[in-house]
Amino acid sequence: MKHRLLTVMLLLTLLSLPLAADASGPGTGGRRVRLDDYPSGPYLLRAVTSPTPPRQGDFNVEVRILDADTREVVTEALVMIRIDPVDHEGTPLEKEANHAYAPLPEEYAAHVPPDTTGLWLVSIKVESEFGVGEASFYQDIAAQNSIGGALSVGLPFAGLLLLVLFFFWLQRNSKQASLSK
């Protein structure tokens, strides 16, 4: 009986290993610099993506624009962010980045969730009175982390429930054993 209990617990322990890292935990930061003052026409572009790693259905791009000559922050520009799948199925998506979505008021950001996993091309286009600038980079999109997070929260309840069920099973077995005697 004790060995069976131990086996059940060991199996549950194995199931507890999250299949992929959940980057929202402490210390991971969740953000990654992809372009660092990249020269693009009359601008210097800094692009930061989140979360880390970005996942199917969850991808943000933040952009800071500097005037390449004066290094002043450009706050009046039209910024478009586009994602295109590379060599696989997926729906291209283009959105205007704005200040409201960005964590920093001088920057621009947009939520551009890819609908499939794999390699995507992220393109940034900036238009303002100073001119037009473009830059792009490749981004690998991972699958949704539906298992690790659910297990982390669901496992405690599942463990408790299994424990209760185990005791009921033991109770039934002990009753059957006493009846057969």
- Look at residues 172, 81, 66 and name the one whose alpha carbon lies nearest to residue 125: 81
Site string for another protein, 76-115 (x = CB under 8 A): ---------------------------xxxxx--------
Does residue 67 touch another protein according to CB under 8 A? no
Helices (H), 16-90: none
Does residue 3 touch another protein according to CB under 8 A? no
Buried b (16+ CB within 10 A) or exposed e, 88-104: eebeebebebeeebbee
**Residues 3, 25, 76, 129: which binds another protein (CB under 8 A)?**
25
- Look at residues 51, 41, 8, 56 and name the one whose alpha carbon lies nearest to residue 126: 41
**78/164 with CB nearer another protein:** 164
Does residue 24 touch another protein according to CB under 8 A? yes
Does residue 2 touch another protein according to CB under 8 A? yes
- Interface segment toward another protein; rule CB under 8 A; list 21-29, 82-90, 91-99, 110-118: 21-29
**Residues 43, 71, 143, 144: which binds another protein (CB under 8 A)?**
71
Cα 177 to Cα 167: distance, rounded to the nearest angstrom: 15
Per-residue tokens: 41:
């026409």
Residues in the chain: 181
Q: Evaluate the CA torsion angle 125, 109, 103, 60 in order and state its sign.
A: negative
Residue 72 is given by DSSP the state: P
Site string for another protein, 36-55 (x = CB under 8 A): xx--------x-x---x---
Chain positions contacting another protein, by CB under 8 A: 1-2, 5-6, 9, 12-13, 16-18, 20-29, 31, 33, 36-37, 46, 48, 52, 62, 64, 71, 73, 103-107, 148, 152-153, 155-157, 159-160, 163-164, 166-168, 170-171, 174
